Amino acid sequence: MKTITINIPSSADVDDREARMSLASKLYERGKLTLGQAAEMAGYSKKTFMELLADYNVALISHPPEELEEDIRNAHRYSL
């Protein structure tokens, strides 16, 4: 894992955990990290990270409607 140092003004009132969560959630939202990678970076389990995403206005699933429709068709096609 890469290590970076970021200087955050003390007036921002952001602790290390919140800074990691902010960065991890944004990278997840942009598709740069998988859910597992983002959760690990933030220091949370996947379950906890998923729950916290709402606090950062990040959708857990952000597939375009066309992909969702295709997934539904595939589910019907291959269901038992």
Task: Give residues with Cβ within 8 angstroms of 23, minimum separation 6.
Answer: 41
pLDDT at residue number 80: 67
Q: Where are the domains of the chain?
A: 15-78
pLDDT at residue number 77: 87
Q: What is the pLDDT of residues 2-59, one digit of tens each?
A: 888 989 999 999 999 999 999 999 999 999 999 999 999 999 999 999 999 999 999 9
**Does residue 64 carry a pLDDT above 80?**
no
**Does residue 62 carry a pLDDT above 80?**
no
The predicted model scores a pTM of 0.76
Task: Give residues with Cβ within 8 angstroms of 49, minimum separation 6.
Answer: 24, 35, 38, 39, 42
